[in-house]
Structure 1
Amino acid sequence: MFASSKRVDSIVQKLLEPIERGQWAAGQMLPGQRELAEQLQISRPSLREAITVLETLGVLRSLPGKGVLVLDSTPPRLGDAAVESPPHAAPLENVLQLRYALEPFIAGLVAQSVDDNALSQLRLLVMDMREAVEDRNTQALASAYTAFHRKLIAITSNPIFLSVSQQTAGALARSEGPTLREPEHAEQILDEHETILRAIRRRDSELASRAMRQHILNEGDRLGLQLQLPPT
């Protein structure tokens, strides 16, 4: 389900290069997302995903109604913040077990601390997902999916969570797991993320955790996997 970590890293690097050159200095705003996506020849959901990564690294900050601010003109090398992706043979069930342990906690944490700016960005990503489902655009849906989950991580301001998510991203991208070609799967995934978002909007930590936990269980079902989990 997650987009390829290599693709995301490539987009992140495209953003880092002009920052390192001083083209976009600390304190400056990036060009608008529509203009920037056209310049880089990428989709806007993919751009948002890369911006989320750089927010987690402390390089950028999204400001409501203004755009994206450069915080650090000497950003860290991408490899310094990320760990290597798991080997090709990593069982997908193991990846989902990790997500089951981690992501409900993150969703609950976000529900406790989310501000209006971050909430607006989450809403926008769910709108991207809905548009992709309506257009039957598999790639756009995958990008918006990944950006949503990485945005949750960025809201926690915990870079270790980002490193773990990059591991799961690589494993899922290399898997033969859930494709989004099945219309009913895409609709289910959209509904699940709307449920997560509603819980976060209500600042209901328990409900957000439960909704995320159910989403990951459903991912296992869509993959034909029965996860081995401790009793609850």
Structure 2
Amino acid sequence: MVFLHEGLGSVAMWRDFPAQLCEAAGLRGLVYSRPGYGRSTPRRTEEKWAPDFMHRQAREVLPALLRDLGVARPWLFGHSDGGSIALLHAAAFPDAVSGAVVLAPHILVEDVSIASIARARAAYVETDLPQRLARYHEDADSAFFGWNDVWLSPAFRGWNITAELRTIRCPLLAIQGLDDEYGTLEQIRGIARAVPQADLLELPRCGHSPHKDQPRAVIDAVTRLVAG
């Protein structure tokens, strides 16, 4: 199972969840930090990500990584931006994926998403958030502004991948918390309309990180999916 982190995530920020899930599901795990995150090469200061940055991760970076590591037909487990990358990869390479699990994925840009991301920017500027993120990233500014700048750019407001999802053929589980501050349930319900075989799990008392807020419910649902 390949783990694809959120927009401010990294290898370290998953903590021990991948090990717990892989043990329960009987799978090996691969966890990596995308360029600009964790201990991977930081984003250059002058580099601005384009609205297609998740498409590029799904269609270029992830396939190259899997090829170089000799990983064939993996399960994908993506959170937030990582969930969108998982969906885009499964749509672009429908025969190359055994299945996908997406937590709080984005398939379109909502006002609630932009409002929360704007609040995150204020927190980064006004609080100790840079110091806290520095525990997980070689260059916290690289990780934060790469993600935050593109999401808040006017060019990104029209980003929508709903139509692209119709080519997904693998088993798919989409999970979202009822208290997700970064998106409404339309994000996963839109997936279900585009991908008939998709299963949905809507979790109460759960925010944007179901694997942290409701880890047992997530592990149980993924284990059932993998077992078929």
Of structures 1 and 2, the one with the larger relative CO (CA 8 A, separation 6+) is: 1
TM over 0.5: no
Which is helix-richer, 1 or 2? 1
What's the TM-score, normalizing by structure 1? 0.28
What's the TM-score, normalizing by structure 2? 0.28
